[in-house]
Structure 1
Amino acid sequence: MKPSTFEQQFQQMMTTYLIAELAALIIALLVFFGLSYLAMRYAIRDGIREALKMDRRLMTQGRADTSHLPDMRAD
């Protein structure tokens, strides 16, 4: 039995909608993962910078605490 014209048009329309929906989903996922990547990248960068700042603060405090001791570094 040959499909009617209405059935063919309906199948074409549904195929077009399916392709459009998949394209929109792929674009949305690419945007989501791109923004997630940037957010993690900048969060990690800021965390590393904050850790380095804390390390510098601890190092300067440590030097201030041992300033009364003689210099024990190797020549």
Structure 2
Amino acid sequence: MLNNIGLPGLLLIAVVVLVLFGRGKISSLMGEVGKGITAFKKGVREETEEAAKSLESARDVTPEETGRQKDEA
């Protein structure tokens, strides 16, 4: 259904949205969308950093061998 929408269709949709909501409302809406995208990126970055820290701490959980343990083995 959406495969057949070309440039004229997109322009028509943009004009209808502009008429329905007005320029000021669209501007504030786009500002909110931008804030949402920024918050999403920040959340993803924080989660990635947290996962990296968790992975680093889980990487080395086995105790190191001491000289005495090597002799006993």
Question: What letter corresponds to residue 48 of structure 1 in structure 2?
Answer: P
Instruction: Point out which structure has higher relative CO (alpha carbons under 8 A, 6+ apart).
Output: 2
In structure 2, runs of 5+ residues without a counterpart are 1-18
**After superposition, where does 1:1-75 map in structure 2 within 5 Å?**
2-42=20-60, 44=61, 47-49=62-64, 52-53=65-66, 56=69, 59=72
Query: Share of identical aligned residues, percent?
Result: 6
TM-score (norm 2): 0.61
- Bigger Cα Rg: 1
- Equivalenced residues, count: 55
In structure 1, runs of 5+ residues without a counterpart are 61-75
Give me the CA root mean square deviation. 2.6
TM-score (norm 1): 0.60
Runs of 4+ in structure 1 deviating by more than 2 angstroms, as ranges, are 57-60
* Partner secondary structure for residue 20 of structure 2: coil
